[in-house]
Amino acid sequence: MDERRLEYFIAVAEEMNFTRAAQRLQVTQSTLSAGIKALESELRVELVSRSTRSVHLTEAGSAFLPEARAALEALDRARAAVEPVSSGLRGSLTVGMLTSMTIVDVPALAGDFHRRHPGVLLRISMSQRGTAGLAEHIKEGRMDVAFVGTHLRDEHLHVVPIKRYDLRLLVPEDHPLARREAVSLADVAGEPFIDMPLGFGQRHRVDEAFARSALTRQVRVEVSDITTIPQYVAHGLGVALLPEALGVPPGVRALRLDGKRLSWTLCAIRSARHKPTRALHAFLDLLPQHIHHERAF
């Protein structure tokens, strides 16, 4: 099976656009299309469904994608066994992250990595679907590593905790609870909440805590950018349980939670099914040098 055709297929699967994939690989679109068709002919199955308006993977294409990536990773490891270190790393690396996360200085990390390994194409992808979406992309082989919120328990993922943050309750300063120093989950079960949409680690962590305590809550407002939630609290739209690393704007009070500790963990995740490539190893080796321990957002 031709290595270049596998690269063509992976690029199309990640870009979902033949023009962008061709630009990324620095080939003509006709060359790319011919390579995909040749691969489909070899496998005797359609991998990519094309129309004038959209491109998407067929069921066979979705199943083939992680195997194609694994095949290229195996070739990369085989080369590593015989190539001199001076030849440098090659290939690509796709990194996923939450839009508001800054504890990892990703631009600085990416710059450091590129200077050391200019032969690796580095792609940074911001998630609008939160932790659940990033985890699915990792398991589907669309990403190599991602930074996510909360500690996932999934046999298909290798999870490395980076930093844990305690949650605290934010309330408007004129709220009846604002005079308290600490509250329990039972104290706020009847309050309207502001939180992130389903699928985000922050939302899952809080929902899980209420469920374990046999309590329910109402989420009145859903916001995909966690850094803006305190402002919604300040305007009286509800209360919020948020990591302590978030600032407290004027008009808001932060209260400690009584009882069992409730926390949120920032983690790096990668596939547990496949061995990490040399490029991913090199990227993760640089990670500790680019972590801001004093903040998360």
Q: Which CATH number fits domain 1-83: 3.40.50.10470, 3.40.50.800, 1.10.10.10, 1.10.287.70?
A: 1.10.10.10
Q: What is the pLDDT of residue 251?
A: 94
pTM: 0.67
Q: Please give the full DSSP string across the chain, using - where no structure is assigned.
A: --HHHHHHHHHHHHHS-HHHHHHHHTS-HHHHHHHHHHHHHHHTS--EEE-SS-EEE-HHHHHHHHHHHHHHHHHHHHHHHHS-GGG---EEEEEEEETT--SB-HHHHHHHHHHH-TTEEEEEEEESSHHHHHHHHHHHTS-SEEEEES----TTEEEEEEEEEEEEEEEETTSGGGG-SEE-HHHHTTSEEEEPPTTSHHHHHHHHHHHHTT---EEEEE-S-GGGHHHHHHTTS-BEEEETTS---TTEEEEEEPSS--EEEEEEEEESSSPPPHHHHHHHHHGGGGB-TT---
pLDDT mean values, one per 10 residues, the chain (297 residues): 89 88 88 93 92 86 88 77 65 83 85 92 81 86 85 83 89 94 93 92 90 94 90 96 87 89 86 84 90 61
Give the domain ranges of the chain.
1-83, 162-263
Instruction: Express each pLDDT in 204-220 by its tens digit.
Output: 889 999 999 999 999 99
At the fourth CATH level, which superfamily is domain 162-263? Periplasmic binding protein-like II (3.40.190.10)
